[in-house]
Structure 1
Amino acid sequence: MFKFVVLLALVASALSASLSPAVDPEWEGFIVGGSTASAGQFPHQVSLRSSANAHFCGAFVINNRWVGSAAHCTIGRTVANTVSVVGTNSRTAGGVSHASARIVNHPSYSSATLANDISMVMAASTIAFTSLVQPITLGSATVGGGVSSTASGWGQTSHPGTAATNLQFLTKPTLTNADCRSRHSAANAARVFDNTICTFLRSGAGMCMGDSGGPLIAGGTVIGAVSWGIACAQGFPDVFARISSHRTWMINQM
């Protein structure tokens, strides 16, 4: 159950009990204080679903065979129970489903600290590009603070609440990592690595509890994948895997 007083990491499996404060495995990156996306506004958006069509995480289209996500979303999952749905803003209807051929988690991913929280899923069939389905470029530039960025995903728009049926988005500025660390407790600041990127707008606007692994975009590129935060929008920065730091690894997997 969600707790306001604990770090809510976007995890699909229980994390190490040694972390302080405790990590809640149910915070999965929903958006509080966002807006409803229009059709085709985020054509790179992917819904990762189980074989029973249950949404569990977000992702983004890289090319016609690969999508990117967060390792905590895909660690321990099988290709038989991981489906990429593209071309829809609805969490429950529409879109094109692609079975998985491979799941590649970053070899240095840590479930204890969420370091290197990045993964890739290879579709078993070609992803056809349309006005509703398009790849997004992997960001190569190191993004500093004060850059306008947009996160998108499905989920609770308040807590307690229910997952949003339609895709939500929120535009917020990036922070320098030093600023991000200063806004977190010492224990949580230690999880803000050089290869992560943070965003913060205000209390009441941020990530919350099904879209971990979803994209953070700026300048037409994806610069982050939703990793962890203190839910929901309680006045602390949200943390993403920094794509520019992992770009070479991601390209090498393809």
Structure 2
Amino acid sequence: MRRRSRTLICVVSLVLGVGVTAPASGSAGTVVGGQSVSATENPWALALSSRERFGVARSGQFCGAALVGVRTVVTAAHCLSSEVLGAKPGQVSDLKVISGREDLSGDGGREVAVAEFHVNPDYDDRRNAGDIAVLKLAEGLPKSSVISIAGAGGEAYDAGTSATVYGWGDTRAAGRPAVKLRAAQVDVFADRVCQAAYPGSARGAYHAPSMLCAGVSGGGRDACQGDSGGPLVAQGRLVGLVSWGVGCGEAGQPGVYTRLSGMLEFVRSPHPG
């Protein structure tokens, strides 16, 4: 799911393991306007799954996520909302992440159960601010699969930086979701551009401390429905999670992402209980 105009219709450090540099897969092409890439070569890009809530097709995938520690995953807070799940997250008995599955209609890779989830207590679902949740896995995934989070002040967040968004969502607005991981190359936009696109209305409001936006001039490359929570990677590090936007790849309506540098304290928290 990714939010459009506050409605869930479409649409990404505490690194407990050893962070690795993200490979260059998906450095060209698009998710909307993108191309298929290897899930095993991008093992930190995870599918969030519940067959109970979303059926057996495509392994029950409904959102994306990113592996930032061997047992620690980040995704969008709204992916765990009752609006998306149709139930409280604690009532979903089969919430899992899927790693390294090249085709969601198959059974490759690994499925790991989510043992705990922690939604950002400061998440504002009206403004879409602070859209992040931390998941703790029942079993660890390889340290080599972990991606590091880019810290505050890093060049990865600078306007004009090339970035890549990953997901299994729709390849066009009102289209069909993908069964293979896809990637789209976009550019990080300046905050003033993002604020001009989303100044504050029923569509949503851009909040620079907890958000960044990315796209291409003229549109055509973007995340879309089903990509929420998926990773935005720049300079080999995680900078964002797919959060919300208006349309998919529309000119003047860039995708908005949770800014990871603004969420480090929450991700680093021990999350007791």
In the superposition, the TM-score normalised over structure 2's length comes to: 0.79
- Taking CA–CA contacts closer than 8 Å with sequence separation of 6 or more, which of the two structures ends up with the larger relative contact order? 2
CA separation of 1:150 and 1:200: change in aligned 2, threshold 3 A: same
| DSSP-derived class of the 1:62 partner | strand
Matches within 5 A, 1:35-74: 35-52=35-52, 53-74=59-80
Q: Which blocks of at least 5 consecutive residues in structure 1 are unaligned?
A: 1-8, 12-20
Is contact 1:51-1:83 (8 Å) kept? no
Q: Deviations over 1:86-124 (max 9, x none)?
A: 122322322211111100010101122211001111111
Matches within 5 A, 1:1-254: 10-11=2-3, 22-28=5-11, 31-52=31-52, 53-75=59-81, 76-78=88-90, 80-93=93-106, 94-129=108-143, 134-142=145-153, 143-184=157-198, 186-187=200-201, 188=203, 190-201=205-216, 202-235=218-251, 236-253=253-270
State percent identity of aligned pairs: 28
Q: Deviations over 1:170-195 (max 9, x none)?
A: 11110111111113354246333322
Is contact 1:181-1:189 (8 Å) kept? no
| Cα distance in 1, alignment partners of residues 40 and 100 from structure 2 | 8
| DSSP-derived class of the 1:253 partner | coil
Partner residue, 2:15 = none
User: How many residue pairs get matched?
Assistant: 234
Query: 1:154 is matched by which residue type in structure 2?
Result: W
Is contact 2:39-2:181 (8 Å) kept? no
| Cα distance in 1, alignment partners of residues 204 and 119 from structure 2 | 24
Q: Which blocks of at least 5 consecutive residues in structure 2 are unaligned?
A: 13-29, 53-58, 82-87
Aligned-pair distance for 1:83? Answer: 0.5
Root mean square deviation of aligned Cα: 2.2
